[in-house]
Amino acid sequence: MRIAIINNYVKDWDEKIGILRKVISSIVSELPIFINFQDVNRVKLLEYDALILSGSQSSLSRRGTIDKYINLISLIRDFNGPILGICFGHQLLGIAFGSRVLRLNKKFYGFYGIQLLEEDNLFKGLPKNIIVFEAHSEIVRRVMPEFIHLAKSTFYEVEAVKHNLKPIYGVQFHPERYDSSNYHGRIILKNFFDIVKVGL
């Protein structure tokens, strides 16, 4: 299983990617390769079995930001394997497939409840209402064409989506951030890697 994690952070990325690395290494035996978004090579990344798009402090609603990620957005459209977009990565999926990203008037940070709307293997073994970690001030405006609406919260509609033909998932929250009391995020990550294995 060859997995590439695209690092979208532009500062303090060692700490934030370190959390993602630690969690993933506790779930799968194959340690993923980490690639900075500036170094994305479309041809090489198409050889990987799955992609994970990390969070970021960048603002996709700010003029000029999308231009910095245009190579990655192009790759997202062409990649046929499983993709998991996390927070900013979820928003990149929104841009890539026809939605917009809007800035909120507040920042969400901490554990929040969300409601699952559809049964899906990404949420296998979880109840209809789960607790996950949010850390963002922007959201995907609407569910993209050709995508299924998987989850919402009381604060905004598009908490999770899935492409209706490809195993492409976006989650507005951070599944890698969990604790012993709020552990649903870890289950979601494990389920994603199970989806990857099934497709191999």
Would you please indicate which residues are annotated as catalytic (active-site) residues? 87, 174, 176
Distance in Å from the first CA to the final CA of the chain: 8
Tell me the three-class secondary structure of the chain, residue by residue. CCEEEEECCCCCHHHHHHHHHHHHHCCCCCCCEEEEHHHCCHHHHCCCCEEEECCCCCCCCCCCHHHHCHHHHHHHHHCCCCEEEECHHHHHHHHHCCCCEEEEEEEEEEEEEEEECCCCHHHCCCCCEEEEEEEEEEEECCCCCCEEEEEECCCCCCCEEEECCCCEEEECCECCCCCCCCCHHHHHHHHHHHHHHHHC
CA atoms within 13 A on the CB side of 171: 26
